[in-house]
Amino acid sequence: MKIDLIGKNALVGGSSKGIGEAIAKQLAASGANVTLMARNKEKMKTIVDELDTNQGQEHGFLVVDFSNFEVFKNTISSFFEQNTIDILVNNTQGPEAGGALEKKVEDYQSAFDLLFKSVVFTTELALKNMQKKQWGRIINVASISVKEPLSYLALSNSIRAAVVTWGKSLAFDVAKNSITVNNVLTGYFDTDRIAQLNAKKAEKLGIPVSEVRAAMEELVPTKRIGDPKEYGFLVAFLASEQAAYITGTNIPIDGGLLKSF
């Protein structure tokens, strides 16, 4: 099976590193024109130069700050005044780690703006062209913690669960327009985010980071942490014509870590 995204325009959030970068590279390798979206301009410049152009694609980037919704709203609105998108990958940086008793209501509001409002607003803008063309792909990067909450990620657990249920609701409404909406539930991947969380946990427990990582790997049935490239393969498939009958789903990519179904 060949994934062919030639002629499709993709916008990928959080794509200056990690999972977002891997998704962007795989979509480009499949023929899509890719726009990166993140805070780090210099990193995105480098990545754009690395993206596949064998199908004559044109790639670019958009500098945004997901953590400041009002500024983000203006930036993304200006982008959509001049551009149309066929494939939208909603992905942002995660909120600060911490348990439910450590967080205040203000922290939840900030996480809501970061993880939910930015996703919904961007999707609303992208949908206008998708509905006009009667084709589109919306892929939300979420977490396995929406099914089995992680005690040290109270903000992410809560707000990503809202994104997932919103995505399911939206999928029902736009299916008639040949637009699919799917949520990918992320397990443990070899990213800066995991490294930061492991470092914080190691410091709290007074043990080496290597010991924290080894314990994490032991939890996963495949006995390893995922390669972001593997994430990119899944998203490229969901963005393709071959996945036209897959919508409203929550798809774990976690090496079998989730015990629920």
Query: How much is the mean pLDDT over the chain?
Result: 95
Residue 109: name the closest of 72, 159, 157, 65 by CA: 159
Q: Which residue is catalytic, options 152, 188, 231, 245? A: 152
Where residue 182 falls among pLDDT bands split at 50, 70, 90?
Answer: very high
Rounded mean pLDDT, 72-94: 96
Could you report the per-residue pLDDT of 212-238, keeping only the tens digit for each? 999 999 999 999 999 999 999 999 999
Dist. CA 126–CA 122, nearest whole Å = 6
Give me the domains of the chain, ranges plus CATH numbers: 9-189+227-253 (3.40.50.720), 191-225 (no CATH)
Please count the CA atoms within 13 angstroms of the CA of 106 that sit on its side-chain side.
0
Could you report the per-residue pLDDT of 35-48, keeping only the tens digit for each? 999 999 999 999 99
The arrangement of strands across the sheet holding 136-143 comes to 60-63, 33-38, 9-13, 87-90, 136-143, 179-186, 250-253
Dist. CA 5–CA 17, nearest whole Å = 22
Three-state SS across 169-193? Answer: HHHHHHHHHCEEEEEEEECCECCHH
Dist. CA 166–CA 171, nearest whole Å = 9
Coil, strand or helix at 234: helix
pLDDT, residue 192, reads 87
Give yes or no for a contact between 50 and 25, defined as CB atoms under 8 angstroms apart: yes
Three-state SS across 53-108? Answer: CCCCCCCEEEECCCCCHHHHHHHHHHHHHHCCCCEEEECCCCCCCECCCCCCHHHH
Where residue 94 falls among pLDDT bands split at 50, 70, 90?
Answer: confident
Residue 42: name the closest of 16, 71, 76, 19 by CA: 16
Dist. CA 115–CA 159, nearest whole Å = 7
How many other CB atoms sit within 10 Å of the CB of residue 172?
Answer: 11
Q: How far apart are the first and last CA of the chain?
A: 28
> Is 114 a residue whose pLDDT tops 90?
yes
pLDDT, residue 233, reads 98
Give yes or no for a contact between 150 and 258, defined as CB atoms under 8 angstroms apart: no
Let me know if 152 is a catalytic residue.
yes
Rounded mean pLDDT, 118-130: 98
Could you report the per-residue pLDDT of 43-76, keeping only the tens digit for each? 999 999 999 999 999 999 999 999 999 999 999 9
